[in-house]
Amino acid sequence: MVRFIGSRVARIVVTVLAVLTFAFVLARLTGDPVRLMLPDQATQADVDAARHSLGLDRPLLVQYIDFMAGAFRGDLGDSIRQGQSALALVVERLPNTVELALTSFVIGFVLAVALAVVAETTGSKRLRSTLMWLATVRQAIPPYLFGILLVLVFSVSLGLLPAIGRTSYASFVLPVATMATFEVALYLRLISSSFDESRSLDYVRTARAKGVSRGRIVVRHMLPNALLPVITIAGINLGVLMGGTVVLEMVFNWPGLGRLIVQGVTERDYPIVQAGVVLIAVLFVAINFIVDMLYAVLDPRVRLS
């Protein structure tokens, strides 16, 4: 087990170092922030002075070394636009993104498991076919387009729910519905596929031969084994949700991390972009580490391999 954990920790360190490097390089490929900060009539002397004050006139290697040294101290620089700690600004927006992503994930996963269990317990092929058809249709619609459609129906036409911002609990309904329905479609297909593979296995046939009820077989025998391969996908997908809410945050004007990063890219605010990308990467790596540990606990073959 110690060897298993050690290998995972080593991968985390390498991944974080690679992300820090990519964040530094890619942020500077967006262009010169000084040109955006200064008015059009600024002289070259003004541009040079601004670049010197921000430390952008130094060699890239020197900037990179300073950036990495600061990152290990928890200092990712100050926002060029706001003059505050970039990491502090990013962490301030993080809870809004986490609550949106986590709520959508939990609702979507629980609904998918419930629907898959009901369909398998009843044994209704019509119900199962209907659910799978709805899941396919939902997955075929991009989340941002689905969110816009929800806004047009429930906000513009019916006036039932707020369309943008985070003003009350009602503000969660549309963005969460947009993400959770996609999650339901994803996990429903995965769990149903696992159930298909489990029906012909020996332990299921033995339970049926002993007269165990269909519902008990599904919940006590088939479901735990069906969830094992889904756990890995769920962990990866939760990490993706943390950083993948950018488009939805823009659609719903949600004051989250993704919207802040997009704003940083637009304004070429290097520290904001770097801090946002690094924080999302760290969250993604941490979630996957937890999933690896959970999978190792549930399946001893993993940690012993």
Tally of structural domains, the chain: 1
CA separation (Å) from 189 to 17, 135, 144, 232, 242? 35, 7, 21, 15, 22
With respect to residue 230, please indicate whether it lies within any of the assigned structural domains: yes
With respect to residue 261, please indicate whether it lies within any of the assigned structural domains: no
Q: pLDDT tens digits for 109-125?
A: 899 889 888 888 887 78
How many CB atoms sit inside 10 A of residue 46's CB? Answer: 13
For residue 31, what pLDDT is reported?
A: 66
With respect to residue 48, please indicate whether it lies within any of the assigned structural domains: no
Residues 6+ apart with CB under 8 A from 265: 30, 273
Tell me the one-letter amino acid at 243.
Answer: G
With respect to residue 24, please indicate whether it lies within any of the assigned structural domains: no
For residue 195, what pLDDT is reported?
A: 81
With respect to residue 112, please indicate whether it lies within any of the assigned structural domains: yes
**Where does residue 93 fall: left (phi above 0), alpha (psi -120 to 50 degrees), or beta otherwise?**
alpha
Low-confidence ranges of the chain (pLDDT < 70): 1-2, 4, 27, 30-33, 35-37, 243-244, 295-305
With respect to residue 233, please indicate whether it lies within any of the assigned structural domains: yes
CATH assignment at residue 105 = 1.10.3720.10
- Structural domain that includes position 110: 98-256
Q: pLDDT tens digits for 219-239?
A: 777 887 777 778 778 877 777
For residue 243, what pLDDT is reported?
A: 67
With respect to residue 71, please indicate whether it lies within any of the assigned structural domains: no
For residue 43, what pLDDT is reported?
A: 79
With respect to residue 23, please indicate whether it lies within any of the assigned structural domains: no
Give the Cα separation of 149 and 162 in Å (integer). Answer: 14
